[in-house]
A = this chain, B = another copy of it.
Amino acid sequence: MNKLVGKQSVRFENPPYIIGAASVAGEKEGNGAFGNYYDLVEKDPLFGQNTWEEAESKMQQLAAEKAMEKAGKTPEEIRYIVAGDLLGQLIATSFGIMKFNIPMFGVYGACSTMGESLGIGSMLLDGGFADCVMAMTSSHFASAEKQFRFPLAYGNQRPFCSTWTVTGSGAVVLASKEHVNMDKKEPRIQVTGVTTGTITDYGIKDSMNMGACMAPAAASCIVANLQDFGVKPDYYDKIITGDLGSVGQRILKDITKEYGYDIGKKYMDCGTEIYYNEAQDTNAGGSGCGCSAITLCGYILHKIRKGDWKRVLFVPTGALLSTVSFNEGHSVPGIAHGIILELEQKEMGEWHM
């Protein structure tokens, strides 16, 4: 079987199964639209730690532990962890997962990291290089503001097109078929394909409008997926981007339309929906690696397991923002990775809820 599909996609011969997923979120996220779906909502923004970075590390640790618990796996049984975050040199990840002593691939795709880690993790599994892999990411409002924006105490004004970095971490444990308990009568979700994104730059230099920076990359990835597989948007029950927000998602719909694809009816954006934007004062919506990660591990996987959606194209979106390149006058390029999630088809009928 040829696993290569079109220009930039792959289809799995033995699609990996999601055998455990966990989401850890902050209080604001807990009060948001998907608050009931998270495994843990923590009221202390410092997660009992001393610094914002330590807090984010703690979130990753908690998410990883919960995901392994739900998967019934110990750290020794996880062959690789593929993970990253927004902070310079991925410190939230390094210090968060160190104690598990799992062979590690650090990845950076800005807020597309959940897509990148799921993509690489799935390929390692289907390629026969692992029986069990964890894919994970996180973001924290305060560590991201410190890294990319202003000191919190400065109380800067936020334009309406700006988004609010989600405090949250999502972890997914993937396994090959041999390591899934097939006797268990439960709906199972597989990663059946991946479309790997390219860096896409429309020259946008407004770092407060990350949605606009990422929309071209999201469009490029979604169009590539549809072209590679030769399908129309309605092939999917849902096409879900990571964190374009209310501004970026409009740009995305316009660009995909120019390519002849009307994704409107099938489309959802985690960033636009994760908060009650008006009531929670989050302007254009949520963003950050954690945005798509906790929406996936909480809401999206729930909807697929329930059978409401049977095939989803999950497209975490990243803006490759750096204060250094930005202050040197460069644009903010974007990247997005598409992950095809499918409800296992066979023998499912009677025990679907």
User: Which of A163-171, A194-202, A294-302, A304-312 is the interface stretch?
Assistant: A194-202
Bound state CA distance, A98 and B199, in angstroms? 6
Total identical chains: 2
A311 to chain B, nearest CB (A): 21
For A124, the chain B residues whose CB sits under 8 A away are: 123, 127
Q: How large is the interface on A (under 10, 10 to 19, 20 to 34, 35 or more residues)?
A: 35 or more
Residue pair B4, A130 in contact (C-beta under 8 Å): yes
Bound state CA distance, A98 and B217, in angstroms? 12
A4 to chain B, nearest CB (A): 7
For A84, the chain B residues whose CB sits under 8 A away are: 108
For A44, the chain B residues whose CB sits under 8 A away are: none
Question: Could you list 19 examples of A-B contacts with CB < 8 Å?
Answer: A3-B128, A4-B131, A10-B129, A13-B128, A88-B147, A88-B323, A90-B108, A91-B324, A91-B325, A94-B199, A94-B325, A97-B199, A98-B201, A101-B198, A103-B196, A103-B197, A103-B198, A120-B120, A123-B123
16 further A-B contacts with Cβ under 8 Å, apart from A91-B320, A106-B109, A108-B108, are: A2-B128, A3-B127, A3-B128, A3-B129, A4-B79, A4-B128, A4-B129, A4-B131, A10-B129, A53-B324, A88-B89, A94-B333, A98-B199, A104-B196, A127-B127, A127-B129
The 8 A-B pairs at the shortest CB distance, nearest first, are namely A127-B127, A88-B88, A103-B196, A89-B322, A106-B108, A8-B103, A91-B325, A98-B199
